[in-house]
């Protein structure tokens, strides 16, 4: 059927599950199996996380630290969003550290790795990188802290301790990832008084995400991603005051306002330089020669590109799957192809979260 079938996000208000056990290819019943713990540890090997030892954590961490996890999914503008923290000299930022687990085990069952991902985060938020056998952190060359003197001259095992020391000097640690599939996985970290983790949930119009995934050169296996927004409407005690939703579309339309709101939530102070950076990222030229910078673009045009690229049939297909979440998040449906292509008409309403 449509290529859209292979990349479609299925957002449902009532439940959260990710079904990765789809056939490997058309016409075959072969399915991925859940790896055993032994297979997982064996597959990770050198340079990756051995979560068996994750309980041996550092105790001497700053009491006044602010810990943030950016919860999002693929093709939601999270690289740009993460740069709002990576560019801040007061923030220790890590980009997709759970990539190492997926690199060794994907394709496989993502749900079975959620506990391992949480254990990894628990140690990273305590500045414990002792279980890494190399400095091969994903995205290290784009990280302003990791790729700085004296760390960037050589990637050796003994350098990892320097990263620990660097991390402990920061009062704000932000980790961005797309591999935590349910915020409930993070509940133990958010309830842990020694961490007091906060979560920023970055969301994007599912029609734009579908369009971006179709264009992705890697593509994705067929998946059903169901996001539970019900408990966000009536949040449990561990979520109150520790959860914030940020819409990608709001960020690109009013970057300074949204940046200030995000920073306020993260106990950070905005300044002229970071606000100028956000403005340049949403309206600047298409590339940059400067280090540690994700390419800028006209983000407003990019955010609405789906309206002129997707057919009305594809748009309706996404809307039918995602209508509950779209209603909660404030994304309006379109009735005709003409309405979709009329870029003067905003399709953003007030979010219920």
Cβ contacts of 19-25, under 8 Å, gap ≥ 24: 19/223, 19/224, 20/107, 20/108, 20/109, 20/110, 20/111, 20/221, 20/223, 21/109, 22/221, 22/222, 22/223, 24/107
DSSP state of 213: H
Domain containing 108 equals 3-22+62-341
| pLDDT value, residue 201 | 94
| Residue 82 domain-assigned (yes or no) | yes
Q: What is the pLDDT of residue 234?
A: 76
- Condensed to tens digits (0 to 9), the pLDDT of residues 208-265 reads 988 877 765 444 433 444 455 655 677 888 988 999 999 999 999 999 999 999 999 9
Buried-exposed string 1-37: b where 16+ CB fall within 10 A, e elsewhere: eeebeebbbbbbbeebebebeeeeeeeeeeebeebee
Average pLDDT estimate for 256-275: 96
Instruction: Give the Å distances, CA to CA, from 307 to 30, 196, 211, 347.
Output: 37, 40, 9, 10
DSSP code string of 234-282: S--TTTTTSEEEEEHHHHHHSHHHHHHHHHHHTT----HHHHHHHHHHH
Angstrom distance (rounded) from CA 21 to CA 41: 21
More confident residue, 99 or 153: 99
314 DSSP 8-state letter: H
Identify the pLDDT of residue 211. Answer: 85
Token pair recorded at residue 173 = 């640690």
Going from the C-alpha of 100 to that of each of 40, 93, 137, 306, the distances in angstroms are 12, 17, 8, 31
Query: How far is the C-alpha of 353 from the C-alpha of 338, rounded, in Å?
Result: 30
pTM: 0.73
Is 252 inside any structural domain?
yes
Alpha-carbon span 252 to 15, nearest angstrom:
29
Q: Are strands 198-203 and 66-71 parallel, antiparallel or unpaired?
A: parallel
Closest CA to 139 of 215, 86, 68, 180: 86
Domain count, the chain: 1
Long-range contact list for 284-291, CB < 8 A, 24+ apart?
291/142, 291/147
- Which of 219, 250, 184, 256 is CA-nearest to residue 17? 184
Q: Between these two residues, 151 and 11, which has the higher pLDDT value?
A: 151
CATH number at residue 217: 3.40.50
Q: Is residue 310 in a domain?
A: yes
Nearest alpha-carbon partner for 244 in 254, 226, 258: 258
**Is 38 part of any domain?**
no
- pLDDT tens digits for range 129-178: 766 544 455 555 556 666 555 555 544 545 555 677 778 888 999 999 88
pLDDT at 228: 56
- The answer to the question of residue 53 being in a domain is no
pLDDT digits (tens, 9 = 90+) for 317-341: 999 988 888 999 999 999 999 999 9
Question: Contact, 203 vs 248, CB < 8 A?
Answer: yes
The CA-based angle 341-210-277, given to 5 degrees, is: 80
Say how far residue 346 (Cα) sits from the centre of its chain.
Answer: 26
Place of tokens 């998946």: 223
Q: Please give the average per-residue pLDDT across 74-81, as a whole number.
A: 83
Has residue 45 been placed in a domain? no
Q: Rounded CA gap, 132 and 164, in Å?
A: 11
264 found inside a domain: yes
d(CA 5, CA 28): 17
The answer to whether residue 270 sits within a structural domain is: yes
Q: What angle do CA 192, 241, 76 make, to 5 degrees?
A: 95
């Amino acid at each position: 059927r449509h290529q859209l079938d292979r990349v479609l996000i299925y957002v449902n208000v009532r439940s959260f599950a990710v079904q990765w056990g789809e056939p490997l290819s058309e016409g075959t019943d072969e399915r991925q199996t859940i790896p055993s713990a032994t297979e997982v540890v064996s597959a990770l090997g050198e340079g990756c996380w051995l979560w068996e030892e994750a309980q041996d954590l550092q105790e001497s961490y700053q009491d006044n630290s602010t810990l943030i996890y950016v919860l999002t999914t693929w093709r939601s503008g999270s690289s740009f969003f993460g740069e709002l923290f990576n560019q801040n000299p007061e923030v220790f930022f890590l980009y997709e550290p759970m990539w190492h687990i997926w690199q060794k085990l994907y394709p496989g069952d993502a749900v079975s790795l959620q506990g391992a991902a949480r254990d990894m985060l628990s140690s990273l938020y305590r500045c414990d990188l002792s279980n890494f056998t190399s400095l091969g952190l994903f995205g290290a060359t784009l990280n302003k802290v990791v790729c700085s003197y004296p760390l960037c001259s050589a990637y050796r095992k003994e350098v990892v301790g320097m990263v620990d020391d660097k991390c402990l000097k920061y009062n704000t640690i932000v980790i961005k990832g797309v591999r935590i599939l349910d915020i409930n996985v993070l509940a133990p970290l958010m309830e842990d008084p020694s961490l007091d983790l906060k979560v920023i949930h970055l969301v994007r119009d599912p029609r734009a995400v579908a369009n971006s995934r179709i264009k992705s050169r890697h593509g994705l296996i067929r998946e059903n991603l169901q996001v539970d927004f019900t408990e966000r409407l009536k949040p449990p005690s561990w979520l109150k005051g520790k959860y914030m939703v940020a819409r990608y579309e709001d960020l690109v339309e009013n970057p300074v306002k949204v940046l200030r709101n995000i920073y306020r939530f993260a106990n950070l102070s905005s300044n002229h330089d970071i606000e100028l950076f956000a403005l340049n990222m949403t309206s600047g030229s298409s590339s940059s020669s400067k280090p540690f910078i994700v390419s800028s673009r006209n983000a407003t045009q990019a955010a609405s590109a789906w309206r002129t690229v997707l057919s009305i049939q594809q748009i309706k297909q996404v809307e039918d799957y995602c209508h509950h979440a779209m209603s909660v998040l404030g994304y309006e449906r379109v009735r005709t192809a003409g309405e979709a292509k009329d870029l003067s008409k905003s399709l953003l309403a007030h979010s219920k979260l």
